[in-house]
Amino acid sequence: MDDVRARTRTVRGRPTLTLTVRTTTDADLDALRARLSHVIADIADNAGGHLPDVRVLLELRHPDRPSRRVE
């Protein structure tokens, strides 16, 4: 996982946590899924068990190409 961004907002009247994950196309997706599962469980624990809807957006890039993101 190269970068993870989190954002909360209301979607269709429900609180929603959107996680945007940026990584390379050669990433181990099973390991990534396991890490995200732990992160989401930790968020639920810290929120007293009240977890909003969760969306995960996965952005992939080739490992030999730099990110196009400009800051």
Inter-residue contact 20 to 59 (CB < 8 Å):
yes
Give the tokens for residue 58: 């996965």
pTM: 0.69
Dihedral sign computed on CA atoms, order 19, 35, 39, 51: positive
Residues 18-49: pLDDT tens digits?
999 999 888 898 999 999 889 888 888 888 87
Q: What is the rounded average pLDDT of the residues 58-68?
A: 75
Give the tokens for residue 37: 């599962």
Give the tokens for residue 20: 């945007």
Tell me what percent of the chain is helix, strand and coil, each rounded to the nearest 5: 25, 40, 35
Q: List beta partners, residue 7.
A: 18
pLDDT of 51: 81
